[in-house]
Homo-oligomer: A and B are copies of this chain.
Amino acid sequence: MHVAIPLYPRFTALDAVGPYTVLGFAPGVTVTFVAAAPGPVTDDLGGLTLTATGAYAGLPHPDVIVVPGGPGTAEAMRDPQLRDWLVAARPRWTTSVCSGSLVLAAAGLLRGRRATSHWAVRDALAGFGAEPVEQRVVTDGPVITAAGVSAGIDMALTLLARLRDDETAQTVQLAIEYAPDPPFTAGSPRSAPPGLAERALTLIR
């Protein structure tokens, strides 16, 4: 079982590493970071450099694709090599985290589908013929999209249960001790204190 996670400059690290960890812990799953050519790719904060060990051409038909989001999405949406690979790959599952869904949308892969994204950009999906849904993880046919950044962990557990079975997903959940207990309940615009969304937007642009 091959999972490919494309990297592009200014991706958000947790978008990629959450699903990488969940899927990579499952027996028999190989996760490869890919780019147009192998090499280092630096994230949005500039502090983390991940190595793409594979090229699009070397992994033309992975079983699963996970597209991370981040401020680099705007450029990634216009990258013909990434788009051509996404369109031709026809994996069993096409998935995204955060604004990664905009990359899928720009490639025409969300037309007519229900999908989600980071709360700050979710409505932009409608411009590509998708139906934006306010939900942490949205499954529509062979496409699973997740909300912002940390939602990739929930998405990957949902995906793993479909790829294998519930028990495998639960086993990984226990291995990574994912019994989340955030010290605050500010993780969505609905639960956050008033005015916080405006402040949060300054951190992600």
Contact = CB atoms under 8 A, between A and B. Distances in A.
A104 B178 CA distance: 22
A158 B202 CA distance: 21
Contacts of A147: 177, 179
Place the interface of chain A in its size category: 35 or more
A141 interface: no
Contact of A47 (B14, B24, B170, B185): B24
Contact of A170 (B18, B48, B170, B196): B196
A184 B203 contact: no
Interface stretch (A72-80, A84-92, A106-114, A186-194): A186-194
A205 to B, nearest CB: 10
A119 B24 CA distance: 20
Interface stretch (A25-33, A59-67, A125-133): A25-33
B184 A166 contact: yes
Interface in A80-100: 98
B25 A47 contact: no
